[in-house]
């Protein structure tokens, strides 16, 4: 194989590996693509963070809307990405009792109704009780502040997903 | 069901329907989400176009990198989205002879090597011979001009995908 072919093939793999470090947003991975395999993992995080910050408010909202509800439709249907499934499961959201599920679903709907985007929280750094408390409390925020809160959580989730790839040999979802 | 629940459910469907009007970029659909079901289809196109134009060069490159190669790995493996499969098939790319395939693969690699992003063309408005000619000719461009050419093609593809949804009842890929 020529060097052109090798480079092409290597680069083609980048989206396979890093395509879902921000849930269902391979556009972001594609945008920071030229920086990825040549730098250490902290740089990947930094590049993602910078790119997200460069987006308009509607772009940031777009990212939040790519995220599934916690304990929502995709979990019920089994159509979560592997990463989301792990995150929600680790926070205990796959084994809620009917009452807990009802409360969470109701709060999620209230949240989406108020803000127009999905409630996002780094589930792995939380648990089912803290998530409900946090959702209740974040419902009180103003939209601007809450958009920033959601994006901060996206970055935490991204941090853990990158760690999983680099240090725990997790096989990422290919989008 | 309360009106909150109805609104939540209706909105949840938007990404199902419009999530792939720009290949594997539900972020874009999410970004223009508040405009979607309340306006005519031309407005959807306009909003997509405006949002894409608002992105940095690296964001635009990110979009191009979400697109599959023509007659590339995803076609061979059967992992193209339904929309891409139709587009490539209609242009005759699923029935190339070995020589034609070899030439196209080689040009695609040269293109990616020169520009660092995927060659994108609205295959439905072209055919296999025109595509090879166009690829040969676009290889001569400078990177800035070629980024714009790629994005113009993304918008044409998006135009046809939106038409398919509104007028031909096509069932879109759920990402």
- The CATH number of whichever domain residue B105 belongs to comes to 1.10.3330.10
Task: Check residue B39 and give its pLDDT.
Answer: 60
B38 located within any domain:
yes
Task: Check residue B23 and give its pLDDT.
Answer: 86
CB contact under 8 A, B59 and A55: yes
B174 located within any domain:
no
Q: Which residues of B are catalytically annotated? A: 67
B145 located within any domain:
yes
Task: Check residue B92 and give its pLDDT.
Answer: 96
Asked if the C-beta of A11 comes within 8 angstroms of chain B's C-beta atoms, the answer is yes
Residues of chain B contacting A5 with CB distance shorter than 8 Å: 109
Closest-CA residue of B relative to A173 is B175
B7 located within any domain:
yes
B115 located within any domain:
yes
The backbone region for B72, taken as left when phi is positive above 0, alpha when psi lies in -120 to 50, beta otherwise, is: beta
Size of interface A-B (CB pairs under 8 A): 119
Token pair 């990616």 is found at B112
Q: What is the mean pLDDT of residues A45-50?
A: 89
Given a contact cutoff of 8 angstroms between Cβ atoms, the answer to whether A14 and B64 are in contact is no
Where in the sequence is the domain holding B22, given as residue range(s)?
3-167
Residues of chain B contacting A7 with CB distance shorter than 8 Å: 113
Asked if the C-beta of B58 comes within 8 angstroms of chain A's C-beta atoms, the answer is yes
Task: Check residue B143 and give its pLDDT.
Answer: 97
For chain B (175 residues), the mean pLDDT of every run of 10, in chain order, is: 47 77 87 70 84 94 93 92 94 95 96 94 95 97 97 95 84 78
> Per-residue DSSP letters for A64-82?
HHTSPPTTSHHHHHT-S-H
Task: Check residue A12 and give its pLDDT.
Answer: 64
Task: Check residue A114 and give its pLDDT.
Answer: 95
B85 located within any domain:
yes
Closest CA to A45 of A57, A36, A54: A36
Task: Check residue B5 and give its pLDDT.
Answer: 44
CA angle A111, A115, A118 (to 5 degrees): 60
A102 located within any domain:
yes
Overall number of domains in chain B: 1
Out of B30, B34, B66, name the one closest to residue A66 (CB): B30
Given a contact cutoff of 8 angstroms between Cβ atoms, the answer to whether A88 and A115 are in contact is no
What dihedral do alpha carbons A23, A25, A26, A27 form, nearest 10°?
-160
Task: Check residue A146 and give its pLDDT.
Answer: 98
Which residues are CB-neighbours of B140 under 8 A, at least 6 positions away? none
DSSP A174: P
Phi, then psi, of B94 in degrees rounded to 5: -85, -5
CB contact under 8 A, B27 and A116: no
Closest-CA residue of A relative to B35 is A58
Closest-CA residue of A relative to B54 is A56
Q: What's the ipTM?
A: 0.83
Which residues are CB-neighbours of A73 under 8 A, at least 6 positions away? A79, B12
Closest CA to A49 of A166, A153, A127: A153
CB contact under 8 A, A8 and B116: no
Write b or e for each residue in A99-134: b if 16 or more Cβ atoms lie within 10 A of its Cβ, otherwise e.
ebbeebbebbbbbbbbbebbbbbbbbebebeebbeb
Task: Check residue B57 and give its pLDDT.
Answer: 93
User: Per-residue confidence at A78, pLDDT binned at 50, 70, 90?
Assistant: very high
Asked if the C-beta of A137 comes within 8 angstroms of chain B's C-beta atoms, the answer is no
Residues of chain A contacting B11 with CB distance shorter than 8 Å: 112, 116
Task: Check residue A38 and give its pLDDT.
Answer: 55
A107 located within any domain:
yes
Residue A2 has pLDDT above 50, yes or no: no
- Outline where chain B has alpha helix (H): 3-18, 26-31, 41-54, 57-65, 73-77, 82-90, 98-115, 128-138, 143-167
Residues of chain B contacting A4 with CB distance shorter than 8 Å: 109-110, 113
């Amino acid at each position: 194989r020529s060097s052109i072919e090798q480079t092409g093939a290597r680069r083609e793999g980048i989206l396979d590996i890093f395509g879902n470090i921000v849930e269902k947003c391979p556009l972001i991975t594609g945008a920071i693509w030229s920086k990825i395999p040549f730098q250490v993992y902290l740089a990947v995080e930094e590049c993602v963070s910078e790119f997200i910050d460069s987006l308009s408010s509607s772009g940031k909202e777009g990212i939040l809307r790519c995220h599934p509800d916690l304990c929502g439709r995709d979990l019920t249907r089994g159509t979560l990405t592997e990463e989301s499934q792990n995150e929600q499961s680790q926070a205990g959201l796959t084994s809620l009792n009917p009452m807990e599920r009802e409360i969470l679903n109701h709060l999620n709907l209230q949240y989406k109704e108020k803000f127009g985007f999905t409630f996002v929280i780094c589930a792995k750094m939380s648990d089912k009780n803290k998530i409900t408390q946090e959702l209740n409390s974040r419902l009180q925020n103003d939209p601007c502040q809450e958009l920033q809160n959601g994006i901060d959580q996206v970055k935490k989730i991204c941090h853990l997903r990158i760690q999983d790839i680099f240090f725990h040999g997790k096989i990422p979802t290919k989008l």
